[in-house]
Structure 1
């Protein structure tokens, strides 16, 4: 009987070992995947800085679809969605409305399995890239999905600014606590010593100025879209016909910060109306206020001669969508380049009032900490009265 028990234990152990080994083997089996690379490297990427003195360039994001052997997948359709980092009400970014929203969505033909875009990343945090890869020719490979993460660190300059502001506020609180801690004797008819009254008056003025600054800044941000002067440069029409080719740029002409706008480009034969596939498309989204390219993509039109995408304009200023169409090198149909464009008015959205109040709370808390420290220092300096 004892031998049978030992045999049963050994058999169970072998079965469990084989199951674990099979799971390990499956997990280590090579699978198709998407390789993410950026320029500059991820550790050097910084978020967009409004009114920056130095010119800012969009980040080049490259997605390479490969099979289980690590070889690029040919004739693929790559769908990409980019989502910004989730909102954090206690540590907001420069563009709170953009937090937790969709930044871009597009389906691109990738003959060599590669999708490359240039995109300005507006805020810090962990971006999520959802990628769908499917074959253009049926049954050439199995479609798959993958979610990638792209972490953008905060600009170090912001930390320096915060340290300077915090030091100033802490000094103001420390001075206030020092003055209040060493109160003068009250004169007849006085509620508080003169030094304390002056200090409280100064703090009241500072609080009022801070509130005015926060609210005026918010109002300026809300009117950001309507207050910008449009660029004086001529913008190409949204529909062009040239050498028997018709190129049409369609989509929303107005947009709102925090929401994506629908855009599409159609290339077809002006005579027959048939779609022109594999035409090379150079797409750019340009913020007109600073002539800043916020998005760029170069690829080819699909089987229907189209390219459609959804894009968010995080800055509430007028933008221009510009598309240049050129023939694919070596194709039977050659034609001179055709350029179309469309201006989009963007409505800026002011941050919610609670976000402004959180910032004021932090400033007030730093002043309060400094005041407590000042009071404690004065308390320690006072001679202790001993009772015999």
Structure 2
């Protein structure tokens, strides 16, 4: 009986080890995945800077869908969502309304399993790229999804500006603490020496002016999006064109809001039969007309219905122009001269909440306060008599 029990225990252990080995082995089998590359390199990417002196270019993002053997997947459909970094109420970015929102959402046909776009990244932090890959033909490969992370560091020049401002504020506080801590006799009827009263009055004026400047700049930024119109005299292409047997039309939201996605769609079809056309190349650009700055660029082909749809956020609050150029694919039976359509989008800027406006003032006050405490301590130490040594 004991032999049977021992045999049963050994058998159970062997079966358990076999199952465990199988699970470990399966977990180590490579699976389909999405590879990402950027231009410039990830460590060289900087966020968008408003009113920059140098011309800025969007970041090139290349997504390559591969199978378990590392071979590119053909005839794939790639869905992409770009999520901006999460909100941080104590360390806001240049575009606080954009934090924690969707920057882009699109579906693309990828005959060679590759999706390449150019996208301006507005703020620092960790971006999430939600990628879904599915076959155009059933049973070609199993659909899968993957979340990629892209870290954008802050522009180093801003740390230099911050250090300079911090030093200036500390020196102002140090001077104030030095004056307040100095010995000065009170005159009859005074609650504080004249120098102290003058200093406090000056600090009050500075605080009021700072608050006014913060609020006025925010209101100007908000009005910038609602009242600014492009001064360019350039005549843009129509939103729909019919030529050479093709009809190409661009449709979508003509008014957008910062922090929200705008819907855009393109349709290509035959003018005679009304059937969708797929064998064309589409070059899509989103251009901020104020500085003629390209913020989004994509070259691809329409889907089975001859459509290309995407959702895009215009983060800087300035008017934009959506421009699409259709050209024949190399070797396609239908050849034609390029057609171009375009559409203007007015963007409404959203002013940051009042608490975000006051965060900077809070930090300024902290630095002045630290400097003032240091000045008071220095004066207190000077006034305190030192014990004499025997």
Instruction: Name the TM-score, length of structure 1 as normaliser.
Output: 0.96
Contact kept? 1:183, 1:196, Cα under 8 Å: no
Deviates more, 1:7-16 or 1:274-283: 7-16
What residue is the counterpart of 1:203 in the other structure?
A: 203
Matched length: 387
Alpha-carbon distance between aligned partners in 2 of 1:363 and 1:23, rounded to the nearest angstrom? 57
Change (3 A) 1:278 1:199: same
Q: Secondary structure at the match of 1:223?
A: helix
Q: CA deviation at 1:360?
A: 1.3
1:22 Cα deviation from its structure 2 partner? 2.6
Q: How does 1:135-150 map to 2 (within 5 A)?
A: 135-150=135-150
1:24 positional shift: 2.2
C-alpha distance in 2, partners of 1:292/1:227? 19
Alignment correspondent of 1:309: 310
Distance of aligned partners of 1:201 and 1:10 in 2 relative to their CA distance in 1, 3 Å threshold: farther
In structure 2, what is the Cα distance between the partners aligned to 1:16 and 1:366?
A: 64
1:45 equivalent in structure 2: 45
Q: Tell me what 2:64 maps to.
A: 64
Residue aligning to 2:267: 266
1:112 is aligned to 112
Moved more, 375-384 or 98-107: 375-384
Please tell me whether the aligned partners of residues 235 and 341 of structure 1 are also in contact (alpha carbons under 8 angstroms): yes
Distance 2:240 2:332 in 1: 23
Matched position secondary structure for 1:219: helix
| Structure 1 range deviating more: 282-291 or 272-281 | 272-281
Aligned partner of 1:251 in structure 2 is: 252
- Structure 1 unmatched runs, 5+: none
Alpha carbons 1:183, 1:193 under 8 Å: kept:
no
Q: Which residue of 2 aligns with 1:93?
A: 93
Residue 378 of structure 2: SS of its match in structure 1? helix
Question: Which runs of structure 2 are paired with 1:188-199 in the superposition (5 Å)?
Answer: 188-199=188-199
Give the match's secondary structure for 1:118.
Answer: strand
Cα distance in 2 for residues equivalent to 1:382 and 1:324: 78
State the SS of the aligned residue for 1:286.
Answer: strand
Check if 1:322 corresponds to 2:323.
Answer: yes
Change in 2 beyond 3 A, CA 1:152/1:385: closer
Q: Does 1:238 align with 2:239?
A: yes
Structure 2 residues without counterparts, runs of 5 or longer: none
Contact 1:278 1:303 in 2 (8 A): no
Q: Contact between 1:278 and 1:302, CA under 8 Å: does it hold in 2?
A: no
Cα deviation digits, residues 239-284 of structure 1 (max 9, x gap) = 0111111110000000000000000110111111111113100000
Residue 368 of structure 2 is matched in structure 1 by 367
Counterpart Cα distance in 1 of 2:329 and 2:315:
33
Displaced runs of 4+ in structure 1, greater than 3 A? 1-20
Q: Which digits, 9 at most, give the CA deviation of each residue in 1:295-340, with x for residues without a partner?
A: 0000011111110000000011100000000011101000110000
**TM superposition score normalised by structure 2:** 0.95
Asked whether the 8 Å contact 1:224–1:316 carries over to 2, the reply is yes
What is the root-mean-square deviation of aligned Cα atoms in Å? 1.8
